[in-house]
Structure 1
Amino acid sequence: MLEIDRLSLRYGRHLALEDVSVRVLSGETVVILGANGAGKSSLLKAIAGLANPDSGSRVTLDGKSLLGLPPHEIPEAGIALVPEGRGVFGDLNVGENLLLGANPRRARATEAQRLDLVYELFPRLAERKRQIVRTMSGGEQQMVAIGRALMSNPRYLMLDEPSLGLAPIVVTELFAALKRVQQTGVALLLVEQNVSISLSISDRGYLMEAGRIVGSDTAEALKTDAAVQQAFLGGTAV
């Protein structure tokens, strides 16, 4: 289990996260819902070792603390992050980007099998493995980013706004691929503005506001929750 307990995080004097507690079970999909500025991205950065939480915060994987590990050691523990903005290497081709994802020691023995899986999940990448990534569409670059993360052989895949800036048809294709990722046993932790489609593939969700968790429930319950409908779904059930 990935467990975040009483996590607080500051940027200078600004308190970005306060006493946040979240858990993700093995193989589970969990979504974090909240408005811009609620602290969702800061939470993923803290888990990924890209931000330093306050003392007293806990981030553990199967009971072992992840806090204090350098960012490159987090993938070795089995956690991969697809950041907002994708973070792909634009001057490299698709295949080169993907192979960089297999750098962690835990991924090297199964590199060929992981590459086959990525190309199965995203056939378009197999067709364009020699294409320079900066010449690709936003949706294709997001597929590269997710594929590269999967190459690290993660147990937990974190995605920060994967549908941001993408056309609706591309979002549908992307989330269909994420459903196939679920079937491989990888747990997903999503931060996503498209509440309807993210709840459709999730087991549970947390509501975040002003750096705090203000509610949580099953995805099915959140779909029909009046407050969630009003805040995110235009007042209509999904």
Structure 2
Amino acid sequence: MLEIRNLSLRYGRHLALDDISVSIAQGETVVILGANGAGKSSLLKAVAGLVKPEGKSVIALEGNSILGTPPHRIPEAGIALVPEGRGVFGDLTVEENLTLGANPKRARATEVERHALIFELFPRLAERRNQMVRTMSGGEQQMVAIGRALMSNPKYLMLDEPSLGLAPIVVTELFSALRKVQQTGVGLLLVEQNVSISLSISDRGYLMEAGRIVGENTAEALKTDAAVQKAFLGGTAA
């Protein structure tokens, strides 16, 4: 299990995360819902080691603390992040981006199998494996970003707004691939603006507001929750 407990984070005087607790079991899919500025991305960055939480914060993987682990060591522990904005290497090919993702020691023994899985998830990448990533569409670049993260052989995959700026047909394709990733036993921790589609693949969800967790329930219950309907789905629960 990946456990986040009593997590607090400041940017200068601004309290971005205020004593929040979130957990995700291996193989589970959990979505974090909230308005822009709620602290969702800060949560993922804290787990990835990109920002430093405050004193009593706990981030533990399978009971072992990973708080303070350098960011480049987090994938070795079994956690991969697909950041908002993708973070792909535009002047490298698809193949080169994927190869970089297999750098952790935990990934090297299964590199060939991982390549095959990613090309099965995203056939377009197989067709364009020698293409410079900067020449690809936004949706294709997101596929590269997800594929590169999966090359690290993660136990948990964190995705920050994977559908941002993409056409609906591409979003459908991406989430279809994520459903197949679920079947491999990888846990997904998802921050996503498309609430309807993210709840459709999730087991549970948390609601965030102003850096705090203000609600938690199963995905099915959240779909019909009046507050979620009003805030995100443009209506009221029946």
TM-score between both structures, scaled by the size of structure 2: 0.99
Q: Structure 1: how far apart are the matches of 2:91 and 2:129?
A: 13
Tell me what 1:107 maps to: 107
Tell me what 2:78 maps to: 78
Q: Structure 2: how far apart are the matches of 1:69 and 1:28?
A: 24
Deviation string 1:27-56 (CA, Å, 9 cap, x unpaired) is: 000000000000000000000000000000
Q: Structure 2: how far apart are the matches of 1:57 and 1:179?
A: 31
Tell me what 1:121 maps to: 121
| Structure 1: gaps (5+ residues) | none
The answer to whether residue 159 in structure 2 is matched with residue 159 in structure 1 is yes
Report how far residue 237 of structure 1 moved: 5.5
Q: Structure 2: how far apart are the matches of 1:150 and 1:97?
A: 11
The answer to whether residue 104 in structure 2 is matched with residue 95 in structure 1 is no
Report how far residue 167 of structure 1 moved: 0.3
Q: Structure 2: how far apart are the matches of 1:68 and 1:94?
A: 32
Q: State the AA in 2 paired with 1:214.
A: V
Report how far residue 236 of structure 1 moved: 4.9
Q: Structure 1: how far apart are the matches of 2:4 and 2:222?
A: 21
Tell me what 1:21 maps to: 21
Q: State the AA in 1 paired with 2:43.
A: L
- The 5 A counterparts of 1:18-97 are 18-97=18-97
Q: State the AA in 2 paired with 1:224.
A: T
4+ residue segments displaced more than 6 Å:
none
Tell me what 1:228 maps to: 228
- Paired residue secondary structure (1:73): helix
- Paired residue secondary structure (2:162): coil
| Structure 2: gaps (5+ residues) | none
Tell me what 2:144 maps to: 144
TM-score between both structures, scaled by the size of structure 1: 0.99
In percent, how many aligned pairs have the same letter? 82
Q: Structure 2: how far apart are the matches of 1:42 and 1:26?
A: 22
Tell me what 2:3 maps to: 3
Deviation string 1:32-90 (CA, Å, 9 cap, x unpaired) is: 00000000000000000000000000000011001011001100000000000000000
The answer to whether residue 174 in structure 2 is matched with residue 203 in structure 1 is no
Stretch moving more, 201-210 or 107-116? 107-116
1:234–1:120 distance in 2 versus 1, CA, 3 Å: same
Q: Structure 2: how far apart are the matches of 1:151 and 1:39?
A: 28
Q: State the AA in 1 paired with 2:74.
A: I
Tell me the C-alpha RMSD between the 2 structures. Answer: 0.9
Report how far residue 133 of structure 1 moved: 0.2
- Paired residue secondary structure (2:190): strand
Q: State the AA in 2 paired with 1:182.
A: Q
Q: State the AA in 1 paired with 2:172.
A: T
Q: State the AA in 2 paired with 1:168.
A: P
Q: Structure 1: how far apart are the matches of 2:236 and 2:131?
A: 42
- The 5 A counterparts of 1:167-186 are 167-186=167-186
How many equivalent residue pairs?
Answer: 238
